[in-house]
Structure 1
């Protein structure tokens, strides 16, 4: 398996008795998968495995997938919680200059004004706005990922500057 593959979603619970699974997208790519495409399933426990898309239904952000290698409900249930990953070249374009891939933000150093806060360890999706989870010396801190909070975003420099008064 390739470490450079990019996660595009997560497999949810089984759907039906023929091996279908519900999936949750982490971006636009999952909803564009076509029959015959190969993805990597990364279960929480166990080795990653390659699966071939047999069918895709449902909605783009919450598709129902069936794979050639998964023939029944029990096999589908064993995939629950697995990440779905594809080659980087298969990732759909974002099309919005204010939208970013999580993989591009994780690891960026966050500065509170000119004071280092810590690296981004995760991005938490929320209904109103996403939040950056920053690993600080005192534990994780959530920072709103909004135009009001972020003063400078330098992805090539791996640096995000937020308002100095943001955390009080």
Structure 2
């Protein structure tokens, strides 16, 4: 587990007065105003002065960012918060993505498949990415109870149920030259 958790990302500027688009990664985005935020290196601190909801993001004014040029320089900056400042998970089905990164991935029989490398949300729900044990392309699995029935944080593992390959995909694999 890491001592800092990625909680938001600064997007493109909004307007000419230094406001930025802000993409929050959590259940309570407005809580961002109360946290001490830092960049990935932990060297630069950010404080949200104001924040309002927009279509699929928030529009925020950061203290010390007063014009569009300063806002542009922050585009795609990830914002982190100290784990100690975050509330504990509400229930057994709530996780911080940072807690899942690095966990072993196993199949239901206990065979090791790989290691969790990332969590994504492209708009249709969370996706777990893992690197296969023997190398090769990473795999993406929907982060649902059906596809990931066991999340064992103390045991440092998750169990995944791989989606069944369709008949057409199996045939296409067999026809590929070696």
Q: TM-score, normalised by structure 1?
A: 0.81
Mark the runs of 5 or more structure 2 residues left unpaired by the alignment.
Answer: 166-178
Q: Distance in 1 between matches of 2:150 and 2:40?
A: 34
Q: Which has the larger radius of gyration?
A: 2
Counterparts in 2 of 1:109 and 1:116: CA distance versus 1, 3 Å: same
Shift of 1:155: 0.9
Larger strand share, 1 or 2: 1
Counterparts in 2 of 1:119 and 1:23: CA distance versus 1, 3 Å: same
> Given that residues 33 and 47 in structure 2 are in contact (C-alpha distance below 8 angstroms), is that contact kept between their aligned partners in structure 1?
no
Q: Provide, for residues 19-59 of structure 1, a one-character-per-residue CA deviation record: whole Å limited to 9, x for no partner.
A: 11111111135421337x5321348xxx8411222222225
Q: Distance in 2 between matches of 1:29 and 1:84?
A: 15
Q: TM-score, normalised by structure 2?
A: 0.77
> Given that residues 15 and 21 in structure 1 are in contact (C-alpha distance below 8 angstroms), is that contact kept between their aligned partners in structure 2?
yes
Matched, 1:90 2:85: yes
Could you tell me which residue of structure 1 aligns to residue 148 of structure 2?
150
Matched, 1:51 2:46: yes
Number of residue pairs aligned between Structure 1 and Structure 2: 161
Larger helix share, 1 or 2: 2
